[in-house]
Amino acid sequence: MKLAQLTSKNLILLDAVFEDRLEAINVLTDKLEQSGKLTDKQMFLDAVLKREEEGPTALGEYLAVPHGKSEAVTEPVFACALIKGELMWQGLDGDEPVNMIFLLAIPPAEAGSTHMELLTTLTSSLVDDDFREQLLQSRTTDDVITLFGGEDELKEQQNEPEQAPQPIAKDVSSLMYPLVLGGGILISAFLFLLL
């Protein structure tokens, strides 16, 4: 999974400044709503805040991953804020400084699969010191999307030859008629032998 598949430039904040984690969560939730990814902002926000109460979402390495699973989410997505300076966030051993926040929004139907795959991709990318450093030094949202693998997708789309549209359905009635008829005869013969 490429991170770029689950976000967009309008969901990325650079040099963000927040008073506290609640403001950060609110601002990123606003971004998700403005992008049409939420049908009910308050319902999603309630899910995120409930999750925050259940346990810490700062994962070390200056990374916080608040998240919410909610029916209000239209598709799996995340908003991201790269912070100017640091913000204290609840971690396993008390509050810890973070400078990267990824707010994950997951529909309940994809809570196991997409959620875990996204978390795994995110954390495995961010344990790489070089990747983290490049991310924090990004000057534009294009830079961030490129780091998330967006440039590769763009190149692939440009290199793919245009394909003729495939037919939506194929007429197989001429093949199915003998098959259905033969099946009917076999079933009739079987039932006749049982009598």
CATH number for the domain harbouring residue 22: 3.40.930.10
Residue 147: CB atoms within 10 A of its CB come to 18
Is residue 81 a part of any domain in this protein?
A: yes
Q: How confident is the model at residue 186 (pLDDT cuts 50, 70, 90)?
A: very low
Cβ atoms of residues 80 and 102 within 8 Å: yes
Is residue 10 a part of any domain in this protein?
A: yes
Q: How confident is the model at residue 151 (pLDDT cuts 50, 70, 90)?
A: low
Is residue 66 a part of any domain in this protein?
A: yes
Question: Kind and range of the H or E element at 98?
Answer: strand 94-106
Highest mean pLDDT: which range of 81-90, 114-123, 174-183: 81-90
Is residue 109 a part of any domain in this protein?
A: yes
pLDDT digits (tens, 9 = 90+) for 28-82: 999 999 999 999 999 999 999 999 999 999 988 899 999 999 999 999 999 999 9
Is residue 55 a part of any domain in this protein?
A: yes
Range(s) of the domain holding residue 144: 3-149
Is residue 170 a part of any domain in this protein?
A: no
**Predicted pLDDT of residue 161:** 52
**Predicted pLDDT of residue 194:** 45
pTM above 0.85, yes or no: no
**Closest residue by Cα to residue 104 from 82, 77, 83, 70:** 77
Amino acid (1-letter code) at residue 126: L
Both tokens assigned to 88 = 């204290």
Per the structure, the count of domains in the chain is 1
- Alpha carbon distance 66, 81 (integer Å): 12
Q: Quick check: 180 pLDDT over 90?
A: no
Q: Quick check: 169 pLDDT over 70?
A: no
Is residue 113 a part of any domain in this protein?
A: yes
Q: How confident is the model at residue 152 (pLDDT cuts 50, 70, 90)?
A: low
Q: How confident is the model at residue 189 (pLDDT cuts 50, 70, 90)?
A: very low
- Report the mean per-residue pLDDT for the chain: 81
